[in-house]
Structures are given as structure tokens and as C-alpha cells.
Structure 1
Amino acid sequence: MSWTDRMKELCLQTKLLAPSCPVHEFLSRAPQPPPSHAIKSAVQMLKTIDALDQNEDLTDLGYHLADLPVEPHLGKMVLCAVMLKCLDPILTIACTLAYRDPFVLPTDGSQKRAALESRRRFTSNSFSDHMALLRVFQAWQKARSDGWERSFCQKNFLSQATMDMILGMRTQLLGQLRAIGFVRARGGSDIRDVNLNSENWAMVKAALVAGMYPNLVHINKETSVFSSNREKKVHFHPTSILSQLQSSTSKSAKTLPTDWLIYDEMSRGHRMASVRCCTLVTSITIAIFAGSTQPSCSGLQEPTVHKTNDGPLDDLSDSDSEELTEMKIDDWLVFQLEQENAGLVSELRHKWQSLFLKRIRSPSKPWSQQDEAIIQTLVSVLGAQEQEAGLQQPAGIGQRPRPMSSEDGPQTSVGTSKSRLQPATSTTNERLHQMAFSDLLKKNTQSKDGASVALNQLSDGPLCPSPSCSGTPGSPLDSLWSSSLRKTLPQTVLPSVRYFVMKSSNARNIDISQEKGIWSTTPSNETKLTKAFMGHNLIILIFSVQGSGHFQGYAHMTSAASQESCQDWGFVGLGGGFSVEWVHKESLPFHLTQHILNPWNDNKRVQISRDGQELEPQTGSQLVLLWDQNFRKQLH
């Protein structure tokens, strides 16, 4: 995960904890806040992928992305795959990208060439590094079922530990999709339904485009120059199977079947920008799936007459001089095509956007015949374009790997941590503490057509700050950053978040706490909470009255416990009081939380917690999110 991905994830979680406070303002109260331009760039990217709206509020998509244990753009890719009914291949690709490249590159020259050749064999002549990731995982799964996976890894220059991790990540991510309603146990949207198009490589690439945007590269076949909205000229990373195109002849780009490709990551070195993990895609796939999912964010411009045929979609035109219409996806991505075709493509794009938003808002709602018809139309259109371009349709890509115990049966562990999608020695909070923020460039670059492109539209590189994202200096801070909390934090780290369940014997104690902003607990719990609080953590306390069948809300701890016994409760046996600040006071019934399990309590449901029980961080985050979702529904 790159540092920009970590920043996007941090900003997304910030909006969950402090929904009414601007991200920049919230994080500026940290003892050592991230650079202002880094925050603004991450917020702008979250807006670009529609996780935040223009007012910096979480969208329906944003809530779901915050609930998935992968980076936001990969989460969007996975959700698109559910709706395009090609989930299984995308699960493998997304989990691989979220973790690391499974291929090992030796230092020896001959071994290095053999490793690159091994990678190439898995691409199936598809012009796709993503295909290699998918194929090698499927082949490894087969070897694993036959009992020779270690030999398979040695032969194909693979990391066995990485493959094991990807396998576990797949199961966890699928379990989370079940928990939030996108994959159901039976009927519509069950595991078979969401994989109806998994054999269709064109549909899989559509999901890749939707998730990877704006990581696009245009290929100018006249000059053999590869350019993006960030760089006038880019090269392929040596590990990409497309790198041979630039290393062989200058005419090789002309032989490529399409003008566009997507990439996962761009890096800079030796005054050269290089992209890795690339896949060639068709123009119409870009026109339909790139850009915002909001229907109003793309449109047709007034027709203009062009005598030349140089637009990205001009291959759809049947003549050399036609009345062309511009279809604008963003400031850099503008297609020109015949007016009639433009209307058809725009209408199909609009129908896809509407379907996507409909499914995001109601993932469990049955599919209508019209919804199914839209997907079938996309299958036909994308397949025809792939065939016309001469791109092959690989066989067997939808072959589901042999499931682990929880992948096809009832879910056994939903409350999984994002840290479980990372090496076991690095938790999410630890990764946040280890962030290193480099200086960001604040200049504009030119697209292939000379149009100025603001760098705040980009994904994993230098981003330009946007004035609309900034908080108001000196404004009241309606967030979890209290003055007492800030005083206790060191000046070198951001706080981690820890969650504890507080059980009360009666509702009156909860009323007192909400009224006076105090709480007391047993001496053993007090010691544990005080130690956590003094260890520079943000402590979230989730309250429940025994026998009530509800959680009564949650608060955050704002002071260490007093040495004096608190007299507000009317009975003895409790330690000293400490201050709390309530965030939500609404009661949340247990039936809304039954899908959340706590790995730190033998995977029991969160409502089955003793007083002072700590929740695994992702479990606590899931539980807290339910209040914001429930409160939000009441507002609407």
C-alpha cells in the first residue's frame, strides 16, 4: 500500500469518527498532523472516486468502502465486480494488489530472465499483467489441491507466503461482502449469481477500469508515445509484460490492438516515470466506466465538425469527415465520436451509473428485469468491441478456486481486521504511525492534446491542494479531538483507536453519564483503560445496559481516572471517575449487530461481551459505523 493509499484510508476513517468536521480541520488537531497538501490531495481523490461528495460528506459508496478491508479504489473495483457479476477474478486481483506482487525477481541475470518469462506465460497473450496475477493464483490453487504447491512456487519464482496471504485475504473480503449484503447466501446475488460473467474478460476489465480510474495511459500510435494525465511520456516498469513493447522497436506501439491501458502504480526514477501492473483496454470501456459514477458528471458537448479523425473513439466512425460530438469524462478525458454513437454510448454510461447507485443504496434489493438487461447489454457491447479490436477471450478465468471452509458456507468470522490483509506484524494503526509524507509537487502537467490537467485529479502521485477541501481556521471543533486528549498525546505520532465495551447494571447510570459526561468502572477495568489512555490512544467506550438487548451509544474517554471514588452512582465497588464525551446517544438493537464478531473474544458476537471487553479494531470500527448509518437514515 502506497502512502497516498494510507492517507485516503485515514481520511475515510476520520469521516466516520467525526462526520460533521472537515478532515483537514480534524487532522490539524493532531500533535504532528500530516502535511496540509497531503490531506487535501487525499480528500480530493476520495471525491474523485465518489467516496466523498463535494461537501466532504461520506456518500453511500463511501460508507461501504470504509467497511471493506482494502484500499478505497480497490473496494470500488470489487463492488463494481459484484454488480457486473464477475466477482471471483476481481477478488483475486484486488487482494493481490492490496498485498504484494507474488512473483519473486532474482538478482542473477539468467534467473531474472527466467522469472520474467514465467510471468509472461501466465498472461495468455492478453496484454495484461492483471491476467498474470489471476492465472498464477488459479494454477497455484490447483497445485495446492494436488499437494505440490511448494514445488510450483519454486518453479515459477513465486513467494509461497504471499500466495497463502492472498488466499486468506480473499476469504476475508468475501466474508465482509456477505456481511454488508452484497453477496447473499441464496437466491439473487448469491455466489453463483455474482459470478455469472466471471468467464467474460471484457467485463472483468470493465471492473478494473472503474476501480483504477484515473490511472490511465493513452497510446499515440503515430509517435509511439505513452502519456497520462500526469506525465507527457511514461515507460513500463521492467516487470510489466508490456515493457518489451518499448524495448524492442519504436513501431511496436502501432501493433497494439487498442489505444488505452490502465495501471496500478506509477513511480519515478532516473528522471523517468514508469507504470507497473498494466492492462490494455478498449476505448468504449473507458468511455463507459471511467470517471465519476454520478450521472451528472459527464455529458455531451455541442456537435462540432472535424475533418480529421484523431479522437480516441474515432475508430467507431465510418467516414473521414463526419459531424462529431465531444463526450467529456473529465478535464483530460474527452472523446470525439459521431453524434448518433455518442448518444448511444452516453445513454449506456448513464444507465450503468444509475444501476450502480441503485445497488449501492440497496444492495440486498432484488434485481429487476431492466437491471439484468443493462448488464446483458454491457456484455454484448464490450464483447463486440473486444472482438473487433482483435483481443482474445481467455478461457477458464472464471474458474473458482477451491474454497476455504468459510468461502461457500455460512460466514464464520465477519469482524475481521484490515490488519489481517497485511503481514501479521503490521497493524493498521502501526502503518499509520509509520507514514512518511514527502513533499508534493504543486505544478500542472499537460495532456497529450496540450490541455492543462490539475494534479489534484491523480491517484498515487503528487497532488495539488484544492481550496474547497480546506477547513475553516479557528472554527468550533465538533470532533473527537478534545483539548484534554491533545495534551496527553506525544508530539511524534497520530493516535491509534481502541474500543471497549462498558456494561452497566441499570439505565440510570447511562443517563447520569450522558448528563454529566463522566463514567466509573471496576478497579481492574480502570487500570486497563487508564493505561490505554496514557499510552496515547483514542479510547472509544461502547455502552450497554445488561439485559436491555441494546447498545445505548458510545463516547470517547477524555481524561484519566481520578484517585478519588466517584459519588454519583449511589453504590460502592467502583473506582475513580473519569471524563467522557458522548458521540452518539441513540440505542442500537442487538439484532443489527449480529453479523459483527470479535476475534479477541473467541469470535463471539459483539453483544456477548463482558464489562471492559476490548474489541478488535476493525470490529470496533464496524460497530461504531452502525450508529452513523442508523442516525443518517433517520435524518433522511
Structure 2
Amino acid sequence: MCLTINLTLLRLWYCFKLFNLVIVSVAWSFQIWKKLLSFLTIFIQGKEEVADRKRLELSAGSCSDHIMLVNAFRRWEEVRVNYAMEDEFCWEYFMSKSTLKMIDNMKGQFCELLHDIGFIQSRSCKDEAANRNSDNHALIKAALCAGLYPNIAKVLPSPGFNKHTGRPKKPKIVAVPHGRVELHLKSVNAQETNFPSKWLLYHTKIKSSSVFLHDTSAIGPYPLLFFGGEISLLSDEGHETICIDKDIRFHAPFQTANLVKDLRKELDKLLESKIEKPGATEWSSSSTEGRIMKAITDLLSTRGGEEDDRDEETPPAERKKDQHYRHDRYQNWRN
């Protein structure tokens, strides 16, 4: 991933007011890319079952390794001012203090770079103005989608129960468009049987005994619509169907796709203007860019997950009425 692309993405994440938390995930990804870290270095090996439970605890039911990392880093930042508490926290959660500090240093370097070229107003990644949406997990995952697409896999439910454990069978995971894969054993999603969405975002794919996905997050279709590839429309057995790069499909009214296309164009123009003339995003409802950002943020926050994938279970007439209502809610940005 070249530096130019990363600067554009960082500008996007700053616009969405997620800067500190998404920067953590970016720094983490770069460390993997540079082979300075692997997934196991942050969680020290030994007592693996306990460590697995601690990772799940930190993921807070998000079905996301990225959110798990963000939560871990945030907890560490809270206790690091006290050496004893910091050591206790790292011991309890099987963390490497040196690795966390490396990520923190890299995060600081990103902030310095972006401040020096005028993309952000403060040298601090914790600047309140840049982090107003830092608790919005759906929006964080959507922002990560902008950086990781097209690394997408589909979740295919497996009916029935495992005869040895009595638990529901784990779903099959298919990388788009490459085929069957497995989730890395240390992922918080490795043993998940009930994903909230049909889609997974992943950082990298590595082949060993099988092809494993590393660092995954369940993600709904709306982030894919906003930050994925080319959108096309078709009819599938009478259902209005949206396709992204031909391989990703879901049922939704065509007007939803047209709304997203319009908002994507407006977001592209906004990013171009911010690159040409760096400055803070105006979030006031009286400004055009404020209305655009609020419409996108609201859409990704309320539709960024899971219920979209279950729309197929809703009676068509009821689903269509509900979807038209949702569409109308996000038209205010035009006014």
C-alpha cells in the first residue's frame, strides 16, 4: 500500500472523526507488513485457552479482531500512567508492553506527518475534535473497509450441530473471489458460529496447512457499498439486487444504490477539496459538507451492520416499505 493512498485514507478517517482509534489499527497493519509483529506477539504465548478468553472479552461481542485491538490499546492507554497497573494489565491480558509501545510510537509518527502537511490541526491523535465518533464501532469498521477492500470473505452457514461438541457447526468461509479459507486460530472469530453479517473484512491471507485469514471483522453491506468497488444493479428472481465488483451481492432497492452513488461522489469531492486545501471538517448542519458527512455517518452507523443481511427473511412488501422509509431519512443532505 503506497504512502499516497494511506494519506488519502487517513484524511478520510479524520473526516469521520475516528482518528486515534483507526490509527491504532493502521499502525498494527503496518507492523505486520514490515514483519515486526505477528498476531501472536501482542498476546504472549502460554496459557492459550485463557488468552483466547481474554481476547474475546476485549472484542466485546463485536466479531472483530480490529475492535479487539482498539479496545486493548484503549485500556492500556488508561492504565499506562501507573507502572504497577500497566504491568498488571499486560500480565492479565497476555500483552507485550514493548509491542504496544511500538504501535504507540508509530501512531505518533502518523500524527506528526499529517500535522506537518496540514491534514490535521493538532499533533495529538487524541484531539477531541478528531475523535468525536471514537465509540462508534460500526463506523470504525466501515473506515477500515476503505483501507482493506477488496479483502472480503463470505460467511456461509452450516446447518446442524457438531456431533463431538454439541455446538452449532462453524460456518464455511469463502474468500471473494478465491475460494474456501479458514480463520486463523487466534482470531476472536475462529470459533464463532453465529456471525451478525454474511461478510468478513480481513487484513491478510496466508497459506500454511490451509489458507488462513488473519485479522478479520464482521461487516455489513453498507460499508461495502460506500468503500467497495464498482456498483451494478440487476434483478434476481424478482428481487432488486445490488452487485459490487460482480462477486458481492445483496438484495436492496435500486434507489439505495443510487443514494450511495450520489453520496460517494460528494465524499470524493470533499476529500479532493481537503487534499487541495487542508482544514477541519465543518460538521455544522448549516454547511453542505456537514450535512453530507452526517448523512454518510448516520447511514453507516445505523445500517453498517447486520440487519441488512437478514432482510431476505422479511416479507417482500414489508421489506420494501421499510427500505423506502430508510432511504427518505438520508435525503436531508440535499437540502
1:124 aligns with 2:124: no
1:197 aligns with 2:112: no
Match of 1:455 in 2: none
- What runs of 5+ residues in structure 2 fail to find an aligned partner? 32-36, 160-170, 310-335
1:262 aligns with 2:209: no
Structure 2 CA distance for partners of 1:142 and 1:193, relative to 1, 3 Å: closer
TM-score, structure 2 length as denominator?
0.76
1:226 aligns with 2:173: yes
Q: 1:332 aligns with which of 247, 268, 272?
A: 247
Match of 1:275 in 2: 213
1:85 aligns with 2:17: yes
Counterpart Cα distance in 2 of 1:333 and 1:305 = 14
Q: Deviations over 1:375-413 (max 9, x none)?
A: 11122212222476399xxxxxxxxxxxxxxxxxxxxxx
1:287 aligns with 2:225: yes
1:589-600 map, 5 Å: none
Deviation at 1:171, TM superposition (A): 1.5
Match of 1:20 in 2: none
Q: Secondary structure at the match of 2:50?
A: helix
Match of 1:383 in 2: 301
Deviation at 1:276, TM superposition (A): 1.1
Match of 1:465 in 2: none
Structure 2 CA distance for partners of 1:125 and 1:374, relative to 1, 3 Å: same
Structure 2 CA distance for partners of 1:190 and 1:143, relative to 1, 3 Å: closer
1:46-85 map, 5 Å: 65-66=3-4, 75-85=7-17
Counterpart Cα distance in 1 of 2:68 and 2:213 = 16
Q: 1:180 aligns with which of 89, 110, 117?
A: 117
Match of 1:138 in 2: 74
Structure 2 CA distance for partners of 1:222 and 1:190, relative to 1, 3 Å: closer
Match of 2:272 in 1: 357
The answer as to whether partners of 1:77 and 1:212 remain within 8 angstroms in 2 is: no
Q: How many residues align?
A: 286
Q: Deviations over 1:14-56 (max 9, x none)?
A: xxxxxxxxxxxxxxxxxxxxxxxxxxxxxxxxxxxxxxxxxxx
Q: Secondary structure at the match of 1:244?
A: coil
Counterpart Cα distance in 2 of 1:161 and 1:388 = 36
Counterpart Cα distance in 2 of 1:351 and 1:336 = 24
1:568-587 map, 5 Å: none
Q: Which sits farther off after the overlay, 332-341 or 209-218?
A: 332-341
Deviation at 1:235, TM superposition (A): 0.7
1:421-460 map, 5 Å: none
Match of 1:156 in 2: 93
The answer as to whether partners of 2:222 and 2:305 remain within 8 angstroms in 1 is: no
Q: Deviations over 1:67-93 (max 9, x none)?
A: xxxxx55x5543321121211111112
Structure with the greater relative contact order (CA < 8 A, sep ≥ 6): 1 or 2?
2
Match of 1:616 in 2: none
Q: 2:185 aligns with which of 235, 238, 249?
A: 238
Structure 2 CA distance for partners of 1:123 and 1:325, relative to 1, 3 Å: closer
Amino acid at match of 1:156: Y
Larger fraction in helix: 2
- What runs of 5+ residues in structure 1 fail to find an aligned partner? 1-7, 10-64, 67-71, 246-251, 292-297, 308-320, 392-636
Counterpart Cα distance in 2 of 1:145 and 1:365 = 30
Amino acid at match of 2:62: S
The answer as to whether partners of 1:216 and 1:261 remain within 8 angstroms in 2 is: yes
Counterpart Cα distance in 2 of 1:360 and 1:232 = 38
Counterpart Cα distance in 2 of 1:202 and 1:375 = 15
Which portions of structure 1, spanning 4 or more consecutive aligned residues, are displaced by more than 6 angstroms?
none
1:94 aligns with 2:41: no
The answer as to whether partners of 2:232 and 2:246 remain within 8 angstroms in 1 is: no
Structure 2 CA distance for partners of 1:135 and 1:299, relative to 1, 3 Å: closer
Bigger Rg, structure 1 or 2: 1
The answer as to whether partners of 2:13 and 2:143 remain within 8 angstroms in 1 is: yes
TM-score, structure 1 length as denominator?
0.42
Counterpart Cα distance in 2 of 1:305 and 1:166 = 47
